[in-house]
Amino acid sequence: MLSMIRPCFLVIDREFPGSISTRKLVIETAKFNVITAYSGQEALEIFNRFPAVTGVVLDGGLDDVSCVKVAREIKKLQPAIPIIVIAAPGFQGCPDADYQLESFEPAKLLEILRGIKPEASAEIEARNEQLSREKLS
């Protein structure tokens, strides 16, 4: 069987490292890989080390480096990378983001992520169905 390369997303979340990011859990439940950063500065450092991520999920309320600056820096390095920004209260907008969610809606976020890599998502779904059938037999 051919090995499947799962999409990998950089999730930039303001939650503290001691608590597990809800966004990370939602994305991993869809069988995508996740690298998590807990600040804008950490996100930029991680992106410099792992620029081949499939996309970026960005918290619009970052307080150390603005969402706008993080998105701009990432796009400078990888102009085609999809950035999904999740608006926080008082969010002013992020011109470099490709998608914007008004609030954290897990189903809507997954729909966007699956749309970014539809062929990989279909492969993951097929594999899950195969595994379910094998379990039943």
Tokens 């051919």 belong to residue:
2
CA distance 131 to 125: 10
What band does 15 get if pLDDT is binned at 50, 70 and 90? low
- Domains of the chain as residue ranges with CATH: 8-136 (3.40.50.2300)
Give the pLDDT score at 134.
79
Cβ contacts of 92-101, under 8 Å, gap ≥ 24: 92/68, 93/68, 94/58, 94/60, 94/67, 94/68, 95/68, 95/71, 96/68, 96/71, 96/72, 97/58, 97/67, 97/71, 100/60
Question: Which 3 state secondary structure label does DSSP give 110?
Answer: helix
Give the pLDDT score at 20.
63
Closest to 40 measured CA to CA, from 56, 19, 52: 56
Q: Is 90 left (phi over 0), alpha (psi -120 to 50) or beta?
A: left
pLDDT over 50 (residue 49): yes
pLDDT over 90 (residue 40): yes
pLDDT over 60 (residue 3): no
Give the pLDDT score at 1.
46
